[in-house]
Amino acid sequence: MVARKQHAAGASYPLRAYRAWDAPTRWFHWINAILVATLLILGTAMLTGRWFGVGDEGTHQLQRIHVVFGVALTLNVLWRCYWAFRGSRSAQWRAVLPGGHGYWKDLRAYLSAFVAGHPQYYIGHNPLARLGVTVLFILLAVQILSGLTLLGIDQLAPPERWVGEPTAQWPVGTPIPYLPWAIDWTGADAAAIRTPIRLAHLYGFYLLVIATIQHVVAVITTELREGGDLVSAMLTGWKSLPGRPEDENKTDVGPRRRPARRRH
């Protein structure tokens, strides 16, 4: 679809709509955003609750709810990993992870064009966004692996130590099925094993706070600077670009005409 858009400087240019994101990728993105935001809020509440008078039972309840959201996040990320092999071109690993033929040259060209004020356009992730998204995936993997390990360690912990038993239950109080990597605390120095993993989960949390803020700021900056519609593209799948995309010939999903609306 071709429309015209008023540029900030006053000039107008033709906008062309491209099919950017397939439906499973968009569902993953918004479910992931909701789950990560909720886990960040629950994590903050677990860490600071005591300052505001939240007692042991309240903290345990927060931990159980946290685990439910953590398992949902794990399933959603696993689904996305599968879809990176099966999905459309812009959803695949080679369009998401940095690297591959000419990647660093493309990154330099993108950065110098951005700084010079005449940005390059991409239907999928631009080379800088690929770096940012990869950092987010790595941090999610750290949280998932350390979180599931903590769950296994806590599962057989005696109730009087750490938060053992309460964490190993769903919010309704039914026990979580026995995890194959659950550690028998009898004779094992489980507390010592737990400490570095808990620290990895905690520092992963801090880094994820920074990376999430950086992600939102990057989307807003790119949208303001490049005049595209990144946020609505993740809702509708269609991205409107005011210039020829650099990855036009690399994608199997664009450009296509937006389907005409039916008139009744």
The interface with ligand HEM within residues 154-213 (CB under 6 A) comprises: 154, 163, 167, 198, 201-202, 205, 208
Give the residue, chosen from 20, 73, 190, 241, that forms a contact with ligand HEM under the rule CB under 6 A. 73
**CA atoms of 44 and 47, how far apart (whole Å):** 5
**Number of Cα atoms under 13 Å in the Cβ half of residue 69:** 21
Based on the shown chain and the rule CB under 6 A, indicate whether residue 147 belongs to the binding site for ligand HEM: yes
Nearer to ligand HEM, 91 or 144 (CB): 144
Indicate which single residue of 123, 150, 156, 176 sits in contact with ligand HEM (rule: CB under 6 A).
150
Residues β-bridged to residue 5: 13
Burial of 233 (0-12, 13-18, 19+ CB in 10 A): buried
Nearer to ligand HEM by Cβ, of 30 and 104: the residue is: 30
The 76-105 contact track toward ligand HEM, x by CB under 6 A, reads: ------------------------------
Residues 6+ apart with CB under 8 A from 108: none
Of 49-57, 59-67, 88-96, 124-132, which part binds ligand HEM (CB under 6 A)?
Answer: 59-67
CA 159/CA 155 separation, integer angstroms: 10
CB of 35 or CB of 233, closer to ligand HEM: 35
**Would you count residue 228 as binding ligand HEM (CB under 6 A)?**
no
Considering the complex, what minimum distance in angstroms separates the CB of residue 210 from ligand HEM?
12
20 interacts with ligand HEM by CB under 6 A: no
How many residues form the binding site for ligand HEM (CB under 6 A)?
27
Mark residue 177 as left, alpha or beta (left: phi above 0; alpha: psi -120 to 50; beta: remaining).
Answer: beta
How far apart are alpha carbons 184 and 151 in whole angstroms? 13
User: Which helix (DSSP H) or strand (DSSP E) does residue 241 occupy?
Assistant: strand 238-241
Minimum CB distance to ligand HEM smaller for 121 or for 162: 162
Under the criterion CB under 6 A, does residue 62 sit at the interface with ligand HEM?
A: no
Q: Given candidates 17, 20, 39, 123, which one binds ligand HEM under the rule CB under 6 A? A: 39
Q: Point out which span in 69-77, 102-110, 175-183, 241-249 binds ligand HEM (CB under 6 A).
A: 69-77
Per-residue CA distances from 177 to 169, 181, 190, 213 (Å): 9, 12, 20, 35
Specify the 3-state DSSP secondary structure of 121.
strand
Peptide bond into 255 cis (omega under 30): yes
* Rounded CA separation 100/31 (Å): 29
Cα(250)–Cα(258) distance, integer angstroms: 19
Beta bridge partners of 12: 6
Residue 46 near ligand HEM by CB under 6 A = yes
Q: Contact region for ligand HEM (CB under 6 A) — 15-23, 67-75, 104-112, 244-252? A: 67-75
- The residues that touch ligand HEM, with contacts defined as CB under 6 A, are 36, 39-40, 43, 46-47, 63, 66-67, 70-71, 73-74, 143-144, 147-148, 150-151, 154, 163, 167, 198, 201-202, 205, 208
